[in-house]
């Protein structure tokens, strides 16, 4: 996950911020906010649905 997360974060940043703001790096605060949301979503998934492998079965 340590190698996949930065790649996914980059793809989300380029696609989302590029579409919304027209620039892939509008400011450090936009990127920081997006990173907090992405990490927070991962933490919430791990907290409330820890058996993620059961989705694949």
pLDDT in tens, 27-45: 899 989 988 998 898 899 8
Tell me if 31 sits within 8 A of 25, measured CB to CB.
yes
CA–CA separation, 39 vs 10, rounded Å? 13
- pLDDT at residue 29, rounded to an integer: 93
- pLDDT at residue 33, rounded to an integer: 92
- Of residues 23, 20, 24, 22, the one with CA closest to residue 10: 24
Whole-prediction pTM value? 0.72
Tell me if 14 sits within 8 A of 28, measured CB to CB.
no
């Amino acid at each position: 996950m340590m190698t996949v997360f930065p790649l996914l974060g980059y793809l989300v940043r380029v696609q989302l911020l590029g579409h919304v703001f027209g620039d892939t790096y509008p400011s450090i605060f936009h990127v920081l906010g997006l990173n907090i949301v992405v990490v927070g979503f991962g933490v919430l998934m791990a907290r409330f649905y820890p058996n993620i492998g059961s989705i694949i079965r």
